[in-house]
Structure 1
Amino acid sequence: MRAGIAGLELPIGEPEHHPDGMVFDRKLPGYWLIEIPDAADWRYPNPLNPMGLSVSEPKWVTTPTLERAAQLGYEPEILEAFVWRDHGRVLVPWYERIRDARTALDIEGDTDALLAREQNKVIYTHTIGMLNSDMHLAGRPGYSPERHHHIVAKSRANIMYRIAKIGEDSGVWPVAVTKDTVLYVSDERDPQLAWPGDQKQFGRGFGNYKPEGSALLSDHLQYLDGKGYRGKSELIAPNEWAASAEGSDS
């Protein structure tokens, strides 16, 4: 979700209502009511319906979602809209402090730095979540579900773009996608060598893709049945996977 804030225009103040719809403007944060079209390409999730749910009525989507869908060839009719004429990159300074702290704490072999780095991640994710927290912030300064929705949508839109770009460039497409986890099949045991995208986008930095887990296809095939991926908890953590590889080589 970290890359969902960088450069993102977020709503300020009250929205402007267009009950009969309007022409989509990617520069305006907003909610757009659309009819959900069928997936245009089965090789990656429908950006307007990533869970593949049965949708029988119009659905509200945010600007980042509709912008990415448009870039992938989707042009749904807009039936109604709420947009913010007043907007800005209001969380970028905060994001940059979190990013810089994470970079400074990336010290290999330093346990204290690792713990602080993990705490940095907790602060980031909990802060984003708090924007939409009825329990902790409803009615108080900082409560902004619309900003939370745009940040989450932007993060997911970035993932969708990356999946499509990797597929177009390499011919390699994922066998499963769930939220921020993308599962690829490879003959390479090393996750870095198995990564089909640009190596500059793989690593520990902000917005980079990191190995979340690995598994033998023979063991994991049961979760790839086309009925919704349920095998994330069965992936082997990178350090355990690397240790098992060392054991098999000895």
Structure 2
Amino acid sequence: MTLDADTERQVTGYGVGGLILDVPAKSLPALVEWTLTEAQLGAERLHGSGKDADPLLVLTEAACERYGLPAALSDSERLAGRLPEGHKVIRQLERADWQLTKRGLGPWARIYRPAQGSRRQCVQLCIPSWRALDGRAWGHAAQLPPPELARVLGVYAARVMTPVGSTAVTGLQLMTALSPPTRASEPDESGRRHREHRPGSLGSEPVDPAPCEAIDGHPVLDQLPRFHVRGPGERLFEEAYDWARDLTDAECMQRYLVGLDVNLAFGAAANGAVVGLATPPVHVTRPVFDAAVPGSWLVDLSHVDLSRVKVGKQWRDLDGALLPSPFTPTGERPTGPAWYATPTVAYAVELGYDITPLEAWVRRESGRFLDGWYKRLRDAYVATMADLGVAEKLSPQEFLEAMNGYKSRDPELGIVVDAVKMTVKGGIGKLQEKARGGGWKPGQAWTALARPTWRPDIRATVISRARVNMHRKMLALAAATGRYPVAVLSDCAVYAADGPSPLDVLPYGADGKTVPGSFRLGVSPGMVKHEGTQSVLWGADVLEQLGADGHVANLARYIKTGEVTAKDTGE
């Protein structure tokens, strides 16, 4: 519910579905009491073993001032991320026996009393004027009038979950909400139930990564010499693509560069991903590779030659120099043994090559932990796009027409679509959250490591699958048409074409079908939309301006608008 105050200091609450309530509370402690006892806000749990969602109160600047809070944080408060401990409103809460979590009273705050039995007493605050709603995820939501902001957050809450922080934090929390770590046991001899591990979850305790999976500074690496730089033979480095090449003479003779962008690429990659669950990884030397076992494998893939690979079940001769390697984010061919997640190694086998791992860290307990998470976010995305006039099962031409200006049909739902996309991307990123704050030193544990969802191996699996999915599509298109990408950035691929439309890149037949296994136009996750089109002359100019010392500028970074806002560093 979004709260606003008028000049008479009367507070009004705007809820989902046009609900409007007069709010009688005169102080923040009274507001929390009113929310829990009279307004009875909140949402039901997403899983039978989970917890109901806590009520969310969004305070406008006027509501902040009404309840004794500043309309904006000072510079020092913004850097700290909270009000100082001695603030008068915090003292009011303490006197009323309300508590704050360790993050204090900041842009996103949780006010609670210890649970009594199964009854939770907790309210969340969201304060947009304190920069709670990051513009990268929520666009101009913070500037919306209260009823419209209530609608945006209400649709998101109904289709995803009640936000509990940034979209990244919410994406991570959604994983736990859909797959809780514990469940109620069967009654014991006395008839009592207790909490027990729920199979298929990540459990209640954090699991240390394998040394190769740990990011720099993690405590499991404390034996390494200071300032040691780990190479691919020591560190798993599964990241999204950032690859580009120069245009060929034939491509320079074409008129356009067309960008294709994969919808919810990380979400599609999460669907069906088999990942390790609640038990630690096991080290194995000279293992036999098993594509069904999640883990990290040290293996030499430098012998895989993209000039001759299996596409489907047939060997095909291609121009391997015009394709990125599927094994590195830079697209450069590996030069020796390196650590890879299971999907990357499995793709080398799919391409028709034998592989011999030297060692591995494998996870014997595994499952499709992210399937429910993907389905929830997929349904939220597809339903909101349908509300914007972009439905599933449109023909390619109908889809392109429907996408033209789709956000302008309902800008508020356009915000929701972007927030859903950032929830997917941010949730996967949070699986490997780095240390934050100036006081941290390498080798020390940081707060995120205490979460069962701090799982860089799961992040690596999803990103590996996303990159492999992208490469498989590019390979199928190249084999069928002789058309190769000129740049790839994460989930966007750029192709030279004679016309400005994606239909000038993708060979759709009269039956509405295109190359099997390649890119398909459509709204569903894993399908593609038009990212943007620029002229080949524009591309040649950008390459000339930004290229230096052998570095090729990534045209996919600028294809959407054509604007080059900063020097391309390739990082």
Residue of 197, 214, 228 corresponding to 2:533: 214
Q: 1:75 to 1:179 in 2, by over 3 A?
A: farther
Check the 8 A contact 1:176/1:183 in 2, yes or no.
Answer: yes
Q: Output the CA distance in 2 between the equivalents of 1:88 and 1:236.
A: 38
Q: Of residues 66, 71, 76 in structure 1, which corresponds to 2:350? A: 71
Tell me which of 216, 222, 235 is aligned to 2:559: 235
**Residues 134-160 of structure 1: CA deviation (Å, up to 9, x unaligned):** 336222231111101101111111111
Name the SS for the 1:211 alignment partner: strand
Q: Say if 2:482 is the partner of 1:171.
A: yes
Q: Which residue pairs with 2:289 in the alignment?
A: 24
The answer to whether residue 406 in structure 2 is matched with residue 105 in structure 1 is no
- 2:418 aligned residue (106, 109, 118): 118
Q: Which structure is higher in helix share?
A: 1
Identity between Structure 1 and Structure 2 (%): 28
Match of 1:95 among 374, 378, 399: 374
Return the offset for 1:100: 0.3
**Alpha-carbon distance between aligned partners in 1 of 2:426 and 2:525, rounded to the nearest angstrom:** 17
Question: Which of the two has greater strand per residue?
Answer: 2
Max Rg structure: 2
Counterpart of 2:433 in 1: which secondary structure? coil
Distance 1:174 1:46 in 2: 12
Q: Which residue of 2 aligns with 1:248?
A: none
TM-score scaled by length of structure 1: 0.85
Distance (whole Å) between structure 2 residues aligned to residue 133 and residue 187 of structure 1:
43
Confirm or deny: 8 A CA contact 1:17 1:82 kept in the other structure.
Answer: yes
Deviation of residue 210 (structure 1)?
2.0
Q: Which residue of 2 aligns with 1:36?
A: 301
- CA shift, 1:4, in A, is 0.8
> What is the identity, as a one-letter code, of the residue corresponding to 2:527?
N
Q: 2 CA distance for matches of 1:47 and 1:55?
A: 10
SS at match of 1:2: helix
1:166 Cα deviation from its structure 2 partner: 1.3
CA contact (8 A) 2:299 2:340 kept: yes
Q: Output the CA distance in 2 between the equivalents of 1:54 and 1:89.
A: 31
Which string of whole-angstrom CA distances, capped at 9 and with x for unpartnered residues, describes residues 5-53 of structure 1? Answer: 111101112122112x211100000111012315512232222235244
Gap runs ≥5 in structure 2: 1-265, 307-319, 390-408, 436-446, 509-513, 564-571
Residues 236 and 126 of structure 1: is their aligned pair in 2 closer, same or farther, counting only changes over 3 Å? closer
Cα RMSD of the aligned pairs, angstroms, is 2.5
Q: 1:180 to 1:113 in 2, by over 3 A?
A: same
What is the SS of the residue equivalent to 1:105?
Answer: helix
- Indicate conservation of the 8 Å contact 2:493/2:556, yes or no: no
**Higher RCO, Cα 8 Å, sep 6+:** 1
Residues 53 and 32 (structure 1 numbering): CA distance in 2 closer, same or farther, change over 3 Å? same
- Higher mean alpha-carbon deviation, 95-104 vs 48-57, is at 48-57
CA change 1:169–1:97 in 2 (3 A) is same
Aligned residue identity for 1:150: T
Counterpart secondary structure, 1:212: strand
Q: Which residue of 2 aligns with 1:46?
A: 325
Q: Does 1:150 align with 2:461?
A: yes
Whether 2:434 is the aligned partner of 1:134: answer yes
In the TM superposition, what are the counterparts of 1:180-219 in structure 2 within 5 Å?
180-196=491-507, 198=514, 201-219=520-538
Partner of 1:215, secondary structure, is: strand
Counterpart of 1:121 in structure 2: which amino acid?
K
Distance 2:353 2:488 in 1: 20
How many Å apart are 1:162 and its aligned residue?
A: 0.8
2:364 to 76, 81, 85: 85
Question: What is the Cα deviation at residue 178 of structure 1?
Answer: 3.1
Residue 114 of structure 1 deviates from its aligned partner by 1.4
